[in-house]
Amino acid sequence: MTINITMPALSPTMEEGNLAKWMVKEGDTVSAGDVIAEIETDKATMEVESIDEGTVGKILVEEGAQGVKVNSVIAVLLEEGESADDIPSDVGAGSAAPQEKKEAPKSEEKSEEKPAAKEEAKPEAKAAPEPANKAAPKKDGNRQFASPLARRLAKENSIDISALSGSGPKGRVVKRDIEKALEEGVPQAAPAAQQGTQLATGMSDAQVTALYEDGTYDAVPNDGMRKTIAARLTEAKQTVPHFYLSMDCKLDNLLEARANINAQAKKDENGKPEYKLSVNDFIVKAWAIALQQIPTANATWAGESTLLHHHSDVAVAVAVPGGLFTPVVKKAEAKSLREISAEVKDFAKRAKSKKLAPHEYQGGSTAVSNLGMFGIKDFSAVINPPHGTILAIGVGEERVVVEDGEITVGNFMTVTLSCDHRSVDGALGAEVLGVFKSLIENPVMMLA
């Protein structure tokens, strides 16, 4: 019996991917564990291994194909004794998504019809029946009443549910209204990124584009990474209540300690040191220890509960062409400065070629974003859910300050902590930032 090879889900949120490269061709023999293709997600390029053995009978998705749905058939594997004639003619046709049970919609439809029957049984309902095409009632002018099934079907088909007239009890939108909309056509819901534009300007993307004269701009299509960043951070700013805390940290002791440690590094035959710590390595370590000392600040919001994390899993923002990665340094509080330095350098190198695995850039409770190397003095970073905080690092620079009544010169940097107010309150954020400042200004305490 032929074996279908399907587009794998390389992360829990992946819905589609690009088939970057085939590592095999029709007629090749493969064994379990052999790499057969390279798949691009919005943030990574990963190798896909065969889980069966056989001969590649037919490749259904060409190399370079974009937007291939998860679970759709991309190739067919032949078992021993089979030929291309054994491949079903309809293989790969239609969606590979699991089909829903027909009984479930019927069950819900019945439950929706029962309230309608009760309404008709009431005398007042008979005396003043509600029109079937009445617009669905809204709560506070925003919410459209609809059954859970109708909402799910509307989301799956990008239907703008607020544009529908409900035929259910009290104008509620039900399954049959969605089916009618699919047949007759209704305005579709705007993508998340476009909704952000509409909220900011009151205009759609097309209307914004129309404002500019032809030939005065280049329209660069947004790739999957850019769209994901736009959707996630638009959602973050709309749903996560941010507040910001800023503090200046003196760097003189840290710079001296860094120079001393780097001077002890052994050199190879080419004179290259075996390690070279950066200021950012100290920052990641200090922030990880600070979260351990104030454990209630190492928190993320989970709706019905607040998660207090046992370890400091610190994501580090890495800029790549066209976007951003946030690989996570796991258990950073338990790692040495050299280990953190080596791990971050490895992450940065592989991020630029999109070779990070999903588990390496997902999760974590907090993040560090450092724009000091670009000369940025201070900034406020956007929290990347599900993180509860993000620490923004400005440039280290010489500043004239007053200490003990005397004017002196020292090296300082400004840091700004963005907090999710649902899980980290102002006083708690100030407390953990104070501990971080103390560790940066007295780096020997990181070893205590």
Which domain covers residue 385, as residue numbers?
A: 241-447
Pairing of strands 389-393, 397-403: unpaired
The answer to whether residue 358 sits within a structural domain is: yes
359 is an active site residue: no
User: Whole-angstrom Cα distance, residue 352 to residue 324?
Assistant: 9
Q: Which residue has the tokens 């896909």?
A: 48
Phi, psi of 195 (to 5 degrees): -60, -35
H/E segment holding residue 36? strand 35-40
Which residues have C-beta within 8 Å of that of residue 217, sequence separation ≥ 6?
A: none
Q: Are 8 and 73 in contact (CB under 8 A)?
A: no
Q: How many C-beta neighbours within 10 Å does residue 165 have?
A: 16
User: Does 339 share its domain with 424?
Assistant: yes
Tell me the HSE value of 212 on the side-chain side, using a 13 A CA sphere.
10
Q: Which residue has the tokens 């769209």?
A: 227
CA-atom Rg of the chain in angstroms: 28
The answer to whether residue 198 sits within a structural domain is: yes
User: Does 320 share its domain with 415?
Assistant: yes
The answer to whether residue 315 sits within a structural domain is: yes
Query: What are 397's two structure tokens?
Result: 């620079």
Task: State which of 59, 86, 113 marks the end of a domain.
Answer: 86
User: Does 271 share its domain with 204?
Assistant: no
User: Does 209 share its domain with 310?
Assistant: no
The answer to whether residue 97 sits within a structural domain is: no
Angle between helices 426-441 and 279-293 (to 10 degrees): 130
Pairing of strands 242-250, 406-420: antiparallel
Which amino acid is it at 277? L
Which residues have C-beta within 8 Å of that of residue 188, sequence separation ≥ 6?
A: 158, 159, 160
Q: Give the model's pLDDT for residue 204.
A: 66
User: Does 208 share its domain with 246?
Assistant: no
User: Does 196 share its domain with 250?
Assistant: no
User: Does 374 share its domain with 419?
Assistant: yes
| Of the candidates 183, 177, 134, the residue with the CA atom closest to the CA atom of residue 154 | 177
**The 45-49 sheet, strands edge to edge:** 45-49, 35-40, 16-22, 68-69
Q: Are 252 and 410 in contact (CB under 8 A)?
A: yes
Local mean pLDDT, 10-residue blocks, the chain (448 residues) = 83 79 89 86 78 87 86 87 78 48 42 42 39 39 65 75 77 82 66 54 67 75 83 90 97 96 91 93 98 97 94 94 90 96 94 85 94 95 94 96 92 97 96 98 89
User: Whole-angstrom Cα distance, residue 109 to residue 111?
Assistant: 5
| Coil, strand or helix at 113 | helix
User: Does 209 share its domain with 270?
Assistant: no
1, 8, 57, 61, 443 from 30: Cα distances, Å: 16, 18, 11, 18, 54
Question: Residue 19: which CATH number?
Answer: 2.40.50.100
Question: Residue 258: which CATH number?
Answer: 3.30.559.10
Q: Give the model's pLDDT for residue 299.
A: 96
Structural domain tally of the chain?
A: 3
User: Whole-angstrom Cα distance, residue 33 to residue 42?
Assistant: 24
| Of the candidates 271, 272, 276, the residue with the CA atom closest to the CA atom of residue 259 | 276
Q: Give the model's pLDDT for residue 348.
A: 92
User: Whole-angstrom Cα distance, residue 384 to residue 365?
Assistant: 10
User: Does 62 share its domain with 196?
Assistant: no
User: Does 203 share its domain with 266?
Assistant: no
The answer to whether residue 137 sits within a structural domain is: no
User: Does 388 share its domain with 443?
Assistant: yes
The answer to whether residue 96 sits within a structural domain is: no
pTM: predicted TM-score of the whole model, two decimal places: 0.64
The answer to whether residue 321 sits within a structural domain is: yes
Task: State which of 54, 86, 118 marks the end of a domain.
Answer: 86
Task: State which of 86, 116, 134 marks the end of a domain.
Answer: 86
107, 175, 222 from 161: Cα distances, Å: 22, 11, 27
User: Does 256 share its domain with 384?
Assistant: yes
Q: What is the DSSP letter of 99?
A: P
Q: Which residue has the tokens 């929290």?
A: 383
Which residues have C-beta within 8 Å of that of residue 320, sequence separation ≥ 6?
A: 351, 352, 354
Q: Give the model's pLDDT for residue 114.
A: 43
- Can you list the positions of beta strands (E) in 187-288? 242-250
Q: Give the model's pLDDT for residue 47.
A: 83
Which amino acid is it at 379? F
- Total residue count of the chain as it appears in this document: 448
Q: Give the model's pLDDT for residue 188.
A: 56
The answer to whether residue 99 sits within a structural domain is: no
Selecting among 242, 309, 311, 421, the annotated active-site residue is 421
User: Whole-angstrom Cα distance, residue 205 to residue 192?
Assistant: 12
Q: Exposed (0-12), middle (13-18) or buried (19+): which is 380, by Cβ within 10 Å?
A: middle
